[in-house]
Chain A
Amino acid sequence: METLEGILAEHPFLHGLARPHLELIVGCASNVRFDPGQFLFHEGEEADRFYIIRHGRVRVELFAPGRGPITIQTVDDGDILGWSWMLAPYQWHFDAQAVELTRAIALDGECLRAKFERDHDLGYEVLKRFAQIMQQRLDATRLQLLDLYGNSR
């Protein structure tokens, strides 16, 4: 049977992390599952965790009055979801809803923040990895904003 530690050690996001650091992170992790249509979080709620999606698909959406929910992006197998747990005031900025049955590993934000405060090397390692994801998402968002397919090829 796959252990949480084994799964996390092999995940690209945490790959190469020093063993003691990995063990600290595993201490904040738990398995979760969401049925289709179930919300992982809502805008404005306390951002108390982030997710490593194992299987499934989650849409990140924003509700616009008169237009309903607008999907901004989807995340699926292997993706990381959520970084608001790192930044005060620790509130979600969007809604996240499972499109299909989704299994994920949830990592407790408060638990992680406490460990980062005690071990800055761990905090720096994880922040570097989140910075890469943020950069990828920012690039992707900028491309989306360009509306590339709108006028000419």
Chain B
Amino acid sequence: MATVAETAQRAPVPEPMVPALYQIQKVRRETHDTFTLDIRPQVQGSIPRFAPGQFNMLYAYGTGEVPISISGDPADTARMVHTIRAVGAVSRALCELKPGGVLGVRGPFGSHWPVDESAGADMVLVAGGIGLAPLRPALYRLLAERGRYGRVVLLYGARTPEDILFHRELKQWRAQFDLEVHVTVDRATSKWQGSVGVVTTLIRKASFDPPSTVALVCGPEVMMRFTIGELQRRGLATESIFLSMERNMKCGIGLCGHCQYGPTFICKDGPVYPYPRIAPAFATREI
């Protein structure tokens, strides 16, 4: 499966260095610092197709450009959706945009989660914090073709109950009989009735058959490191673990070298990698 994911054909972006003008359709406040933007082309035109896990370079005019994973449904042709955490100048400027506001978009770029390639397998999605956003398109795809997969499990860890993304959808997903959803937070007051503890502790109890499971993991690197350890302890093959990596990017098409990660460029070869491909770099502190 790793090979298929690595060699998956990606539609070339016609003008990869020229931002297309997009308009904000809707802004949803997910948490105190995280917003979901629905955007569509300013002039009539089709939304480019994307694969789950890919990202766009979003340009806040006058401020700068950042890579943001696409968090919407790949089947949705009416809008492009991004979930952004306001942590720097550009992401803050993007989050301050109002409906009707304009931004630049380049993309979609990068590799994708091996969703189609994993048909027949149990699927475990492990997300930490904002890492749920790049995994959501994969979950949409899995649910759209639910019959093609074995068990589907979503394990999600957030900082506090107030930091949980996509609240309404998580409730809907939890209510589904063919999807196992576990949510945990790192800290909470006694008002929270759910689980408290790190997301890695959920792996031990999740229902999946390790030899025939594919894991998609996205979150802070330390979390991913411990997640890999837990998945391997459960018996998952290393080549069945896929990670989404993050680094600062500039060009988005593998020219500038800003996002070099070992012998790869995250913008071009990633952000989604089969773990064996980046394992040496993943274990190297300086990278």
Contact = CB atoms under 8 A, between A and B. Distances in A.
Interface of A: 57, 59, 61, 68-74, 76-78, 97, 99-100, 136, 139-140, 143-144, 146-153
A100 B192 CA distance: 12
A78 B202 CA distance: 12
Contact of A76 (B186, B195, B198, B246): B195
A71 B193 contact: no
Nearest to B184: A74
Given A73-B197, A140-B201, A143-B198, A148 B222 contact: yes
Interface residues of B, number: 32
B131 A61 contact: no
B163 interface: yes
Nearest to B130: A153
Interface in B163-213: 163, 184, 186-190, 192-198, 200-201, 205
A140 B189 contact: no
A136 B197 CA distance: 11
A57 B183 CA distance: 14
B201 A147 contact: no
A144 B130 contact: no
A140 to B, nearest CB: 5
B219 A148 contact: yes
A100 B188 CA distance: 16
A153 B192 contact: no
Nearest to B85: A153
A144 B87 contact: no
Contacts of B189: 68-71
A41 B223 CA distance: 32
B87 A74 contact: no
Given A78-B205, A140-B201, A147-B159, A69 B222 contact: no
A101 B192 CA distance: 16
Interface of B: 85, 87, 128-131, 157-159, 163, 184, 186-190, 192-198, 200-201, 205, 219-220, 222-223, 226, 246
A147 B188 CA distance: 13
A78 B205 CA distance: 9
Given A140-B198, A148-B219, 19 more contacts: A61-B190, A68-B190, A71-B190, A74-B195, A100-B193, A139-B200, A140-B201, A143-B186, A143-B200, A143-B222, A144-B187, A149-B128, A149-B129, A149-B159, A149-B163, A149-B220, A150-B159, A152-B220, A153-B219
A152 to B, nearest CB: 6
Nearest to A150: B159
Given A69-B190, A153-B130, A59 B159 contact: no
27 contacts: A59-B196, A68-B190, A69-B189, A70-B187, A71-B190, A71-B192, A72-B196, A73-B197, A74-B184, A99-B193, A140-B197, A140-B201, A143-B200, A143-B222, A143-B226, A144-B186, A144-B187, A148-B128, A148-B219, A148-B222, A149-B130, A149-B158, A149-B159, A151-B87, A152-B87, A153-B131, A153-B219
Nearest to B223: A148
Given A100-B193, A140-B197, A71 B220 contact: no
A112 B246 CA distance: 50
Contacts of B222: 143, 146, 148
Contacts, number: 83
B233 to A, nearest CB: 10
A139 B226 contact: yes
A149 B159 CA distance: 6
Contacts of A100: 193
Nearest to B190: A69
A69 B190 CA distance: 6
- Report, nearest first, the 5 A-B pairs whose CB atoms are least far apart: A149-B129, A149-B159, A148-B220, A143-B198, A69-B190
B196 A73 contact: yes
Given A57-B195, A153-B85, A140 B200 contact: yes
A41 to B, nearest CB: 16
